[in-house]
Amino acid sequence: MKIETNSQYHTALAQIETYIEKGFPRLTKSETKKLETLSKRVEEFEQQKYPMPLATDISDVLQNYMTENKLNRTTLSQQLEISNSALSDIMNGKKKINIAIAKKLHQKLKLDGNFILKVA
């Protein structure tokens, strides 16, 4: 059953909460399957109803990456094997990404290649 309304969404969340309160080790196989199904349906509803904004700028992506990994620009430039000034220029919008840097972003940071091409 697909979740289509807020009421169905909140009912599904309440059911999920019941399973979580019971504790994963104590769930039957049937309950585990039901929990997985509910979780997938809730996720699908949330993605449709409450989509998360995607970063559309390489500077934002790199800034988020640095924050999540507790890096500064110098450390990130070393990780990418590019100069600190090149990274600063990219992050400040003064320099576009070339193919060599695009490869490093994809290989070393695991950024989606299609996203890199889109913002390059």
pLDDT digits (tens, 9 = 90+) for 80-94: 999 999 999 999 999
Decide if 1 is inside a domain. no
Decide if 16 is inside a domain. yes
Contact between residue 87 and residue 80 where contact means Cβ atoms under 8 Å apart: yes
What token pair was written down for 10? 């909140």
What pLDDT score was predicted for residue 57?
Answer: 86
Express as a percent the part of the chain with pLDDT over 70: 97
Same domain, 86 and 45: no
Say which residue, 52 or 118, is predicted with more confidence.
118
Query: What's phi and psi for 81, nearest 5 deg?
Result: 60, 45
Instruction: Kindly report the average pLDDT of the chain as a whole number.
Output: 92
Decide if 107 is inside a domain. yes
pTM of the predicted protein model: 0.55
Same domain, 67 and 102: yes
Decide if 82 is inside a domain. yes
Q: Specify the number of domains making up the chain.
A: 2
Decide if 18 is inside a domain. yes
What's the whole-number mean pLDDT along residues 89-100? 93
CA distances from 61 to 29, 55, 86 (A): 40, 6, 16
Residue pLDDT, tens place only, 15-55? 999 999 999 999 999 999 999 999 999 999 998 888 766 66
Q: Which residues form the domain of 115?
A: 58-119
What's the whole-number mean pLDDT along residues 44-73? 86
